[in-house]
Amino acid sequence: MRKPSLYSSATKPSAAARPATEKTGVSASDPPISSSVAIAAPPARRWRRALASPRAPWWAMAVLALLMVGSLWVVFSQGQRKLTQADIDAAVLKTLETTTLPSAAAAAYENIAPSVVRVMAYSNKPKADKPVTGVTPHAKKPLSPKDKAAKGGKPAAPTPPDDDDDEDTQNGVGTGVVIVDKGLILTNLHVVQGADRIVVVFSDGMTSTASVTNVQPENDLAVLQAHKIPDDLVAATMRSTADLRPGDQVLAVGYPFGIGPSASAGIVSGLGRVFRSPESGQAMRNLIQFDAAANPGNSGGPLVTMDGEVVGIVTAILNPTPARTFIGIGFAVPIENAAQAAGMPPF
């Protein structure tokens, strides 16, 4: 006789439990699962449900905050490591190896160049001193038109009259430096002395006439006022010589022999020097001695530091020979004296 089937005394699984059973992947052929057996949710899901619940325990929130703070500390401590001196030295060394730095003299020249001008002095030459047209020294008197006609030649055309009573003769060329952006220029007195007309050429090529507004003969200084100036004229920066010392690097900028603007670098050779002009016999005192190359035409130009700041006005060179060229000793008037010549207060 066939035995009856035996079933569990547990009640039939509810409809709500069946979807969970289906989601677990249990097939219909597997033995039935008792409803008394709980299906555990993944731990991460339990954490999310617990924290999302309005009745989340305080300690869970505290643990979460600690974990977040710890994570941020790790990230920032690894990304923002403190720099050491070795790191800085390595970075500087790499920069020096891979970058060509401009020289100090080049930087000084770039700063002062817009303020340097060329100064040309002209004098009026009387008409009587001009050579007569058609006549050369020791030449025979030219034939008159009547004489030329008598000899079979064509009458000569009459010479047009010369309307200019005077002719400008350039006495020389020097250098100046703009000290006020309204066109006030410092130069040497011997550059413009005796001139009937003064012309200055600015760094941008603009040309203007100028007039002398003040002189300081004891320091061979003259102050010029340009009649026309560029819109973007830059005045030089002047610096006291109180902290100037022998050995300091300096730059002389000007128009030696009319060539320029030219720059020459050297050092301060001495302070408080005395120079006596071989032409006038006048002694100038308290001069800056320097060894940056200077020649005729540099007169009136600026002597500047490696910052491009003016500490003196180049005024003379020492050369006991008739050549009058640079042999290593130049002199500049301290800028304090030059500022007084321009009517500006000393530093």
Separation CA 175–CA 188 (nearest Å) = 8
In a domain, 261, yes or no: yes
In a domain, 121, yes or no: no
In a domain, 292, yes or no: yes
**3-state class (DSSP) for residue 288:** strand
In a domain, 286, yes or no: yes
Residue 131 contacts residue 186 (beta carbons within 8 Å): no
CATH of residue 318: 2.40.10.10
With the C-alpha atoms ordered 173, 200, 185, 223, is the resulting torsion angle positive or negative? positive
**Residues catalogued as catalytic:** 190, 220, 299
Q: Residue 290 gets which letter from DSSP? A: E
Residue 266 contacts residue 291 (beta carbons within 8 Å): yes
Phi-psi region of 286 (alpha: psi -120 to 50; beta: other; left: phi over 0): left
Where do runs of H (alpha helix) occur along the chain?
17-23, 43-52, 58-79, 85-98, 104-112, 145-150, 189-192, 335-341
pLDDT at residue 67 in the model: 64
**Distance from the first to the final alpha carbon of the chain:** 133
Residues 196-250 pLDDT 10s: 999 999 999 999 999 999 999 999 999 999 999 999 999 999 999 999 999 999 9
**3-state class (DSSP) for residue 116:** strand
**Bridge-partner residues for 331, per DSSP?**
289, 316
Separation CA 184–CA 235 (nearest Å) = 9
Q: At what angle do helices 58-79 and 43-52 cross, to 10 degrees?
A: 110
Separation CA 58–CA 46 (nearest Å) = 16
In a domain, 47, yes or no: no
Can you give the length of the chain in residues?
Answer: 347
Burial of residue 192, with CB atoms counted within 10 A of its CB: 0-12 exposed, 13-18 middle, 19 or more buried: buried
Please, what's the largest Cα pairwise distance for the chain?
Answer: 179
Separation CA 113–CA 308 (nearest Å) = 9
In a domain, 4, yes or no: no
Q: Could you tell me the two tokens for 145?
A: 């038109």
Domains contained in the chain, number: 1
Residue 277 contacts residue 333 (beta carbons within 8 Å): no
**pTM of the complete model beyond 0.75:** no
pLDDT at residue 294 in the model: 95
C-alpha closest to that of 314 among 253, 272, 238, 261: 253
In a domain, 35, yes or no: no
The residue range of the domain holding 336 is 249-341
Residues 297-317 pLDDT 10s: 999 999 999 999 999 999 999
pLDDT at residue 268 in the model: 97
Task: Report, as ranges of residue numbers, the positions in the chain whose pLDDT lies below 70.
Answer: 1-81, 125-167, 344-347
In a domain, 328, yes or no: yes
pLDDT at residue 118 in the model: 97
